């Protein structure tokens, strides 16, 4: 929205607010964005944030040197049309706190405020008007606070009931009280909206759900397999893996008894191999302790290897109709927008709070559909990394972010630390005995712990080697290269690490006995499971 749209969207509740809003609209039409600058001749826009504690019982205020009274944080827009951003920035500068977020993206008050003549930085500032835009802000109390010496002192938390006693600007007290009341109304609305989503969301899901193979029944084994596979993998890619996996391992007993090489081959390409290893550990526990049947108990399911809160919640709600929400990134995004929640969705405390809120609207009758419909809405409508499809959403009339036009700002996700970059030289060592149908490739086992533990890999070393250094490295492995075929570069991204890889293709003398395992190219397709990070080199034509 542009500046005029933001101000027009404000809905005044009092005659005074209507006067302030209409006057500001008139000035914006006359001066356009000049109203954001201090040199506007008839006053200019400032942005304030009234900061409350999460329980809305305390406010963070400071004694302002200009006004000779305690008051809220705020400052000049100085040309910036992101009014909410200005309010947050000023709150941080004036209090030194960093963890702060808006209770809503909507403007809570527009007021014309007189500013007395004063001196600032040794310069006289004549009396003028502030057209002040106010937002409600939330900040946890545990943070360190500090004064901004040129503007305020005594930054402190005070009970909201003390404002009228401590504030000496009598005209400000009704404004503060009005904003606090509106912040409490918004907080109540956030709680009240959740029960309202159940019926429209369930009806939408029944009509628009995708036809997916793991939705054919509510067998906990099937739901479990699909949920583990779907973690960080596209639905379309999972379909074939899911069908092949169940065709080979149709039940928990088969999974428990499966040889590791077959299991890893079934999982090849999905990555995160510890997931399938943990699935087998869990399957063996189910067979040994629960007679091959999933326990109908959240805590027992949650205690199984590789099953976290989300997967346990999905199994229990979908299969056993328990009030156990399955809260993943999709559901967090939906919740953040429905409730217009500006907190960091990567905060585990927030995830726990939202899970508890959702559990209150679960019943034995709706648990199955509610879990799946929230997942589906996040995947298909309230999408990540793009504009949500609000025109197709069954919750448009309830969504607080949609009402306040803040969907593009949500969810808030604090950026993760940058991935560590590791450079590797990967050896594609090729040999072929006379008369042998398929060439052989050298592979080896990775260590039993750490990244890609115990999986097969192509031989590799840290850093990029020159061809001469690569030949020397081969000699240390008792491998004798005959011809350098090519050198190519690849990249593979893990959760916390990026491998930048240089692949050196060397045709070698027929394989000797050494620590390497030589597997022919047919065996690499059928017997040995290589992670994608190495398999991408074998997708190249080996001899070109």
Q: In which residue are the tokens 């939202």 written?
A: 354
DSSP state letters, 508-524: ESSPPSSSSEEEEHHHH
| 229 φ, ψ (degrees, to nearest 5) | -65, -35
Question: Is residue 277 a contact partner of residue 256, using CB atoms and an 8 Å limit?
Answer: no
Nearest-angstrom CA–CA distance, 34 and 450: 59
Q: In which residue are the tokens 């699935």 written?
A: 279
Helices (H) and strands (E) in the chain, counts: 19, 17
Q: How many Å is the Cα radius of gyration of the chain?
A: 31
Conformation bin of residue 304: beta by default, left when phi > 0, alpha when psi is -120 to 50: beta
Report the interhelical angle of 329-338 vs 173-208 (nearest 10°).
130
Q: Which tokens is 25 given?
A: 């609209």
Considering 94, 227, 340, 376, which one is annotated as catalytic? 227
Q: Which tokens is 364 given?
A: 């034995």
Catalytic residue at 151?
no
| 302 φ, ψ (degrees, to nearest 5) | -65, -25
Question: Is residue 190 a contact partner of residue 179, using CB atoms and an 8 Å limit?
Answer: no
Nearest-angstrom CA–CA distance, 18 and 290: 68
Nearest-angstrom CA–CA distance, 528 and 219: 31
Q: In which residue are the tokens 């939408």 written?
A: 204
CB under 8 Å to 173, separation ≥6 — which residues? 163, 164, 167
Residues 293-301: contacts with CB within 8 Å, 24+ apart? 294/220, 294/221, 294/224, 294/252, 294/319, 296/320, 298/322, 298/324
Question: Is residue 394 a contact partner of residue 200, using CB atoms and an 8 Å limit?
Answer: yes
Closest CA to 387 of 419, 366, 410, 364: 410
Question: Is residue 85 a contact partner of residue 69, using CB atoms and an 8 Å limit?
Answer: no
Q: What angle do CA 5, 8, 11 make, to 5 degrees?
A: 135
Catalytic residues: 227
């Amino acid at each position: 929205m542009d500046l005029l749209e933001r101000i027009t969207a404000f809905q005044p509740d009092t005659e005074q607010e209507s006067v302030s809003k209409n006057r500001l609209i008139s000035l914006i039409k006359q001066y356009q964005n000049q109203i954001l600058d201090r040199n506007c001749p008839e006053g200019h826009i400032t942005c304030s944030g009234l900061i409350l504690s999460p329980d809305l019982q305390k406010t963070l205020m400071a004694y302002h040197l200009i006004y000779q009274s305690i008051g809220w944080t705020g400052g000049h827009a100085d040309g910036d049309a992101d009014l909410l951003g200005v309010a947050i920035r000023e709150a941080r500068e004036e209090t030194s706190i960093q963890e702060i977020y808006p209770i809503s993206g909507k403007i809570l008050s527009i007021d014309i405020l007189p500013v007395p003549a004063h001196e600032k930085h040794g310069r006289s500032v004549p009396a003028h008007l502030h057209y002040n835009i106010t937002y409600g802000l939330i900040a946890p109390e545990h943070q360190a606070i500090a004064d901004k010496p040129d503007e305020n002192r005594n930054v402190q938390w005070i009970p909201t009931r003390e404002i009228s006693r401590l504030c000496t600007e009598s005209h400000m007290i009704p404004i503060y009280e009005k904003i606090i009341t509106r912040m409490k109304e918004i907080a109540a609305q956030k709680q009240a909206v959740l029960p309202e989503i159940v019926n429209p969301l369930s009806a939408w899901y029944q009509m628009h759900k995708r036809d997916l193979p793991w939705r054919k029944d509510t067998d906990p084994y099937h739901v479990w397999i699909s949920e583990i596979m779907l973690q960080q993998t596209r639905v379309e890619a999972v379909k074939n893996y899911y069908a092949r996996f169940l065709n080979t391992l149709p039940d928990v007993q088969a999974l428990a008894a499966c040889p590791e090489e077959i299991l890893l081959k079934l999982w090849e390409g999905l990555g995160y191999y510890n997931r399938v290893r943990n699935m087998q550990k869990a399957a063996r526990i189910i067979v040994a302790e629960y007679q091959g049947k999933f326990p109908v108990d959240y805590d027992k399911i949650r205690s199984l290897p590789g099953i976290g809160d989300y997967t346990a919640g999905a199994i229990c709600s979908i299969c056993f109709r328990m009030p156990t929400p399955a809260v993943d990134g999709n559901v967090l995004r939906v919740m953040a927008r429905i409730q217009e929640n500006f907190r960091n969705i990567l905060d585990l405390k927030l995830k726990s709070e939202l899970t508890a809120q959702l559990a209150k609207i679960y019943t034995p009758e709706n648990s199955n559909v509610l879990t799946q419909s929230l997942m589906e809405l996040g995947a298909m409508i309230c999408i990540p990394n793009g504009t949500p499809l609000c025109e197709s959403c069954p919750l448009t009339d309830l969504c607080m972010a949609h009402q306040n036009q803040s969907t593009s700002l949500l969810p808030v996700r604090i950026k993760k630390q940058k991935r560590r970059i590791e450079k590797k030289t990967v050896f594609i060592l090729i040999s072929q005995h006379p008369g042998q149908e398929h060439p052989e490739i050298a592979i080896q086992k990775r260590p039993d712990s750490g990244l890609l533990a115990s999986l097969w890999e192509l031989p590799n070393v840290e850093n990029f080697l020159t061809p001469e250094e690569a030949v020397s490295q081969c000699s240390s492995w008792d491998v004798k290269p005959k011809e350098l075929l090519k050198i190519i570069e690849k990249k593979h991204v893990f959760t916390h690490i990026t491998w930048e890889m240089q692949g050196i293709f060397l045709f070698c003398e027929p394989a000797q006995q050494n620590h390497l395992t030589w597997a022919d190219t047919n065996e690499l397709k059928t017997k040995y499971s290589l992670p994608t990070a190495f398999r991408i080199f074998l997708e190249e034509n080996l001899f070109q």
